[in-house]
């Protein structure tokens, strides 16, 4: 009976993790795609205001959404394991009060400080975007209490449904309101950006309503989960609950704050540095500010979404590796730990290297296809392509960072990648100030600083995993073969695109180049056979991969 109970709990955990994983993947895909049509709707100035506001929102959002749901889930699951359903509900109520207060404080702060923040970033009209986002902080904070409680009860469906509905509502209202303001006030791009971000607040409100409905309908009056006894220890007072919540949440929150803080650094420095440089060159202040906003939009709205696309693949890879490595560590199966870690590094290179090469060669043409501002303005095309030349290199390191973060978490060292990413963040900010303030690189310096951030974190993660696991790694199979195949693929793609463009068909040339790139890279990887039989053990559809790579 105990074995059946344990089996049922494990099955429920795996199923719940799969549900959340799939929902998270869909959210990432929608989020990555969302900004492409939005940029075409609101225009370059509108996207500049949007991109100035969002990092501040993301940073404040981390306070409620990063560590506290995990902490709530942990404490609730502990109470449930002891059969203390009353204690679990007490944790939820204490967390709900705490998160409501956090939501009110952060929402008011963002609204009240919207003008000073916008002025600090060199984009005063962005205050409307900041105001539009402020209600979302309250809605998300309250929603996080419900999500943490549901996850602690191993009821992942409500969280997954609310996440997907949230993204769909954001698409509908964000696009709709942005389009409405563009049509009614074409001379006010700041209102179009505000409309898009009102859509974010509306989506969070709807998602909160959905998860509250799910809680009321499925959880609120439920006495105990299946297979949980009614015996358990009494839970503590509200003050001690909050102390435990904060003790768990604060380290996670600090780690999750690193990238939003670097985003704020971009928001504060880039427009101001670029504007200052142009004014020093004798350009009028109004024109200098416009040029700075456009350059900021090129980096954040045109280049960055494409750079983040491959991250969807490496994120799913990371999710699949964590449980396999965690179980092997628990069972002290060193061989499996090493094999799974080695596979993760290989796959990060397998995905990251060709994506980096492809974006380096075709980044400009792809942006021309996706964004009307790039397509219709040759100067903008050249600027975007130059930024992509640098930013594309970062794709390889970003793939390593995401994949190896999952591996290191599986090894039971969740703080290590946080330290490395923090080091990368420091390198990014320092190098950005130096490159933009004391050289003539301009926006290219900002792009290079991001590459350096991921390079530092990615290389440090890789060295740590190799040394920690003491794995027997083939540097030829792991690094040389993907890099060689990507370089050959790059030459093939460049040749096809150049020929097609000379024939007067740049769009067809881009599409044909993509197809040729996939075929050439895939063919080379099959011929070179970098994956061993054991490498494919940890992948879904492993038999299919064995047939593809002809592994015996």
Q: Quote the pLDDT of residue 226.
A: 40
How many Cβ atoms sit within 10 Å of the Cβ of residue 544? 11
Q: Quote the pLDDT of residue 12.
A: 47
Q: Quote the pLDDT of residue 121.
A: 87
41-58 pLDDT, tens digit each: 998 889 999 999 999 999
Q: Does pLDDT of 546 surpass 70?
A: no
Token pair listed for 112: 């009240």
Q: Quote the pLDDT of residue 5.
A: 45
Q: Quote the pLDDT of residue 495.
A: 95
**Which of 18-27, 261-270, 333-342: highest mean pLDDT?**
261-270
Q: Does pLDDT of 189 surpass 80?
A: yes
Q: Does pLDDT of 312 surpass 90?
A: no
Cα 352 from Cα 366, distance rounded (Å): 18
Q: Does pLDDT of 183 surpass 50?
A: yes
205-234 pLDDT, tens digit each: 999 999 999 888 876 655 444 434 444 444
Of 69-73, 87-91, 229-233, 523-527, give the lowest mean pLDDT range: 229-233
**Which of 72-76, 107-111, 463-467, 506-510: highest mean pLDDT?**
107-111
Token pair listed for 503: 């024939």
- pTM for this one? 0.82
- Domain limits, the chain: 1-227, 287-416+470-552
In this structure, what is the dihedral angle of CA atoms 181, 187, 189, 194, given to the nearest 10 degrees? Answer: -40
Token pair listed for 479: 């690094």
Q: Mean of the per-residue pLDDT values for the chain? A: 84
How many Cβ atoms sit within 10 Å of the Cβ of residue 434? 13
Q: Does pLDDT of 278 surpass 70?
A: yes
Q: Does pLDDT of 484 surpass 60?
A: yes
Q: Decide: residue 166, CB within 10 A, 0-12 exposed, 13-18 middle, 19+ buried.
A: buried
- Give 233's DSSP letter: P
Q: Quote the pLDDT of residue 541.
A: 57
Helix axes 2-65, 189-214, angle to 10 degrees: 150
Cα 276 from Cα 281, distance rounded (Å): 9
Q: Does pLDDT of 374 surpass 90?
A: no
């Amino acid at each position: 009976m105990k074995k059946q109970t344990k089996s049922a709990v494990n099955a429920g955990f795996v199923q719940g993790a799969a549900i959340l994983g799939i929902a998270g993947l869909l959210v990432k895909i929608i989020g990555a795609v969302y900004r492409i049509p939005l940029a075409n709707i609101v225009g370059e100035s509108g996207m500049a205001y949007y991109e100035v506001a969002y990092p501040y929102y993301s940073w404040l959002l981390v306070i409620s959404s990063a560590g506290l749901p995990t902490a709530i889930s942990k404490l609730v699951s502990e109470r449930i394991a002891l059969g203390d359903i009353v204690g679990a509900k007490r944790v939820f109520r204490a967390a709900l009060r705490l998160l409501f207060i956090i939501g009110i404080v952060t929402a008011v702060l963002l609204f009240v400080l919207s003008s000073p923040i916008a002025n600090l970033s060199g984009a005063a009209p962005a205050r409307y975007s900041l105001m539009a986002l402020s209600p979302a902080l309250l809605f998300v904070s309250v929603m996080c209490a419900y999500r943490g409680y549901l996850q602690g009860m191993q009821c992942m469906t409500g969280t997954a449904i609310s996440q997907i509905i949230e993204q769909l509502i954001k698409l509908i209202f964000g696009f709709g309101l942005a389009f409405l303001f563009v049509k009614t006030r074409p001379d006010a791009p700041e209102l179009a950006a505000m409309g898009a971000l009102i859509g974010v607040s509306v989506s969070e409100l709807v998602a909160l309503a959905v998860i509250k409905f799910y809680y009321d309908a499925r959880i609120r009056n439920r006495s105990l989960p299946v297979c949980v006894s009614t015996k358990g220890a009494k839970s503590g007072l509200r003050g001690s609950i909050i102390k435990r919540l904060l003790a768990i949440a604060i380290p996670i929150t600090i780690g999750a704050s690193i990238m939003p803080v670097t985003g704020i650094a971009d928001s504060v420095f880039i427009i101001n540095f670029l504007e200052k440089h142009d004014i020093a060159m004798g350009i009028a202040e109004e024109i200098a500010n416009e040029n700075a906003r456009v350059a900021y939009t090129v980096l954040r709205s045109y280049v960055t979404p494409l750079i983040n696309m491959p991250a969807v693949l490496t994120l799913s890879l990371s999710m699949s590796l964590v449980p396999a490595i965690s179980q092997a560590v628990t069972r002290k199966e060193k061989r499996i730990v090493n094999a799974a870690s080695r596979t993760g590094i290989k796959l990060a290179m397998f995905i990251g290297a060709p994506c980096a090469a492809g974006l380096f060669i075709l980044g400009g043409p792809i942006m021309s296809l996706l964004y009307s501002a790039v397509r219709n303005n040759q100067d903008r095309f050249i600027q975007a392509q130059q930024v992509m030349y640098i930013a594309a290199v970062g794709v390889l390191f970003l793939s390593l960072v995401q994949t190896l973060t999952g591996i290191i978490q599986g090894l039971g060292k969740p703080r290590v990648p946080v330290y490395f990413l923090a080091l990368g963040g420091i390198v990014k900010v320092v190098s950005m100030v130096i490159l933009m303030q004391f050289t003539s690189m301009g926006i290219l310096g900002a792009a290079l600083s991001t590459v350096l951030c991921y390079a530092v974190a990615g290389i440090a993660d890789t060295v740590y995993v190799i040394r920690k696991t003491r794995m027997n790694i083939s540097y030829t199979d792991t690094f040389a073969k993907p890099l060689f195949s990507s370089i050959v693929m790059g030459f093939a793609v460049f040749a096809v695109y150049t020929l097609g463009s000379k024939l007067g068909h740049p769009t067809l040339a881009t599409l044909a180049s993509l197809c040729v790139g996939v075929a050439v890279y895939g063919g080379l990887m099959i011929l070179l056979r970098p994956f061993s039989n054991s490498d494919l053990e940890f992948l879904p559809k492993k038999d299919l991969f064995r047939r593809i790579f002809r592994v015996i």
